[in-house]
Every structure is written in C-alpha cells, then in structure tokens.
Amino acid sequence: MKVLLISLLSFFTFADNYSERGKEALLPLKKSLMKELKAGLKSHGAMGALKVCNIKAMDITDSKSTKKYKVGRSSLKNRNPKNAPSPWMSKALIDYEKTKSKKPRVIRIDSDKTAYVEPIYLKGLCLTCHGSQISSSLKKEINSLYPLDKATGYKAGDFRGIFWVEFN
C-alpha cells in the first residue's frame, strides 16, 4: 500500500511539474501569435491575418523553442503541411476530437520524452479564415498560399488542434 501511494504521489508531482512548465512555455507563443494576427487584421483585414500566418507564424513558433523544449501547433486538418502531426500528436488529436475535452494534458511520448498539450477550440474571429463562409477572394488567396489546405469548414466552438510542448 505504501509503495502504491508513493508511486501515485510521484506520478502526480511529475505531471504537475510538466503541466506548469508546459503552460509557461506556451504562453509567449500564444501571446506573440495573437498579437501579430490582431495587428494583421487591424491593418489589412483577413488578408493581413492570412499573410501573418503564411509569413510570420512559423518563425514566431521556432523562435519560442529553446534547448529545453520545442513548441508548436498541430491539427489533423492542418493548413500548413509544416504543422502536420507526429504520431504521438495524432493520438492526442484524435482523442481530443473524440472526447471534446478542454483540459490540457501531460503525455509520456517514450521513456525519454514527455509532452504537454493544450486543445485549441475555435472562437468567432477564427471563422473568418477557418469557417464555412469564407469570402471568395480570401478563399482564392488561401488556396494560392496553401494548395493542400484542410483547415476550413469549422463552426465556433469546434476543436481545431493543439498547442504542444515537447520537452528534451
């Protein structure tokens, strides 16, 4: 009984530690992406936001990774192929899609790697580029920039993907 209790306490301490570190690691990425998207929207509308995603999003994401961890976004219905999920991400994405959970998770990838994920659910503003009622000029630009785009047809509140942290 004592060993079981110690094992459970160790696991929860382990998960809590990665949860805290994961939240801290993702915050700068989420803030920077949102700041740039809002600036693009304000200056050039939906086309400006799309340009931010196309030109700046990957650089912003890469700049927030460190020697201790990598951060990113992924989806089963990705727009940018560079955000395609790895096998462990696919499992998490499928589970979130099925359960509709809004809770972040700590995931043991293998004996040496651990990850933290937060689900992304669409808000109204996101529907401008990811919804089912996209203007024809914007849709044309999306198709031009992302010929393999799978990231449209959503409604507010739909599960979109995950923010992730992979600890080294």
Residue 155 has pLDDT above 80, yes or no: yes
Question: Looking at the 3D structure of the chain, how many domains does it have?
Answer: 1
Could you tell me the residue range of the domain that residue 95 belongs to? 2-28+66-167
Residue 102 to residue 142: CA distance in whole angstroms: 28
The confidence band for 8, taking pLDDT boundaries of 50, 70 and 90, is: very low
Residue 3 has pLDDT above 60, yes or no: no
The confidence band for 1, taking pLDDT boundaries of 50, 70 and 90, is: low
Residue 22 has pLDDT above 70, yes or no: yes
Residue 154 to residue 11: CA distance in whole angstroms: 37
The per-residue pLDDT for range 42-96, each reduced to its tens digit, is 999 999 999 999 999 999 999 999 999 999 999 999 999 999 999 999 999 999 9
Express as a percent the part of the chain with pLDDT over 90. Answer: 88
**Is residue 91 included in any domain, yes or no?**
yes
**Is residue 47 included in any domain, yes or no?**
no
Which of 86, 78, 82 is closest to 130 using CA atoms? 78
Residue 161 to residue 89: CA distance in whole angstroms: 10
**Is residue 52 included in any domain, yes or no?**
no
Cα-based angle 6, 9, 12 (whole degrees, multiple of 5): 150
The per-residue pLDDT for range 121-138, each reduced to its tens digit, is 999 888 999 999 999 999
**Is residue 42 included in any domain, yes or no?**
no
Mean pLDDT over residues 99-109, rounded? Answer: 97
Residue 120 to residue 165: CA distance in whole angstroms: 14
